[in-house]
Amino acid sequence: MILTAVALLIVTPLLTTPLILISLFTKSGGAVFRIAVWWAWIVHKCMGLTFSLEGAEKVKEGTSYIVTPNHQGNADILALFATLPLRFRWVIKKELLRIPVFGWALAGTGAISLDRSNREKSIRSLKNAKKKLAGGWSVLIYPEGTRSSNPNLQPFKKGAFMMAVQTGVPILPVTCNGAYRVLPRKTISFMPGHITVTIGDPIQTQGLTEQDVPDLMERTRNEIAKSLDPDYNPFDVHKQQPSPPAKKIEYTTKTRRHQAEQ
C-alpha cells in the first residue's frame, strides 16, 4: 500500500499539471478529458482494481445523456472514467474547486459546480449547464447527492431530473457494485478488488415537464436497482477478471478514442 501511495503522489501531479495548462488554451475539453481518463487508468492499476462493463451497446454514439450512477464510494469515480463509452462532465459541489491542483484540474474538465447551501443558485447552475451538452457531451450527476454509507441506494435528489426535463436529454441509469467495500466512505484505506459497471436502458425525457419529475425519479431508481447487488463481494477471486467479451471492449476503446480527439 505504501508503494501505491507513492505512485499516486507521483502520477497525479504529473498528469494534473498538463491538464491545467491545456485547459487554459482550449475550451473544448476533449484533450483534458482524455488526460483524466489516463489518470483513472493509471490510478486504478496502482490500486490493484479491475473493472467490467455491461450494457455499452445501449449508448448511442454522438448522443448526449444525463448519466445517473449510484455512488458507493470514491472508487466508482475511477470505474466510471475508465469504462463509460462516452464523454461526460461532472456535476460537483463547489467546494471541490477550491482544492489546490485537484480543484483546478476539475475546473479544466468543464465540471459544473453547485452551491449546495443555496438552492436557487444550484437550480440556476443546472439550467445554465445546457451549453455543456453541446457536441455530444454528456453530464454525470449522482442522484443520491453524495456517497452512500452502505451498499444500498439512498434517497434521490431532484437536480438531475429537473435538468433532464428542462433539456429533453435522455437519462442513462448506471449501476456500480463493489466500490463501497473496496474504498469505504470516510477512509483512505483501500483493498484491491473488482467493480462492476452496468448501463441500464436509457429513459427518454423529451416532452416531459416538472410535473413528471417524481415519476422519472422512480423509473430511474428502479432501473439502477435492477442491477444493484448489496451483497456483492468485490474480493471474490472468480470475479477478478473483466467479464465483457472482446468485441464490447473494442467498442468502448474505439468510441472513447474517437470522442476524446474531438
pLDDT digits 0-9 by tens, 63-92: 999 999 999 988 998 999 999 999 998 887
pLDDT digits 0-9 by tens, 160-204: 999 999 899 999 999 999 999 998 877 777 889 999 999 999 999
pLDDT digits 0-9 by tens, 251-262: 344 444 444 444
pLDDT digits 0-9 by tens, 11-40: 566 656 665 565 555 555 677 788 778 888
| Residue 104: pLDDT over 50 | yes
Q: Please tell me the predicted confidence (pLDDT) of residue 212.
A: 97
Confidence grade of residue 246 (pLDDT, cut at 50, 70, 90):
very low
Q: Please tell me the predicted confidence (pLDDT) of residue 105.
A: 64
Instruction: Answer yes or no: are the C-beta atoms of 178 and 50 closer than 8 Å.
Output: no
Per the structure, how many domains does the chain have?
1
Instruction: Answer yes or no: are the C-beta atoms of 121 and 115 closer than 8 Å.
Output: yes
Which of the residue ranges 8-22, 93-107, 139-153, 171-185 would you say has the lowest mean pLDDT? 8-22
pLDDT, greater one: 165 or 101: 165
**What are the residue ranges of helices labelled H in 99-232?**
102-108, 119-128, 159-167, 179-182, 213-226
pLDDT, greater one: 182 or 107: 182
pLDDT digits 0-9 by tens, 203-236: 999 999 999 999 999 999 999 999 999 999 999 8
Q: Please tell me the predicted confidence (pLDDT) of residue 108.
A: 66
Q: Please tell me the predicted confidence (pLDDT) of residue 189.
A: 73
CATH number, position 16: 3.40.1130
b/e map of 160-197 (b: 16 or more CB within 10 Å)? bbbbbbbbebbbbbbbbbbbbbbbbeeeeebeebbbbb
What range defines the domain where residue 201 resides? 2-260
Q: Please tell me the predicted confidence (pLDDT) of residue 175.
A: 98
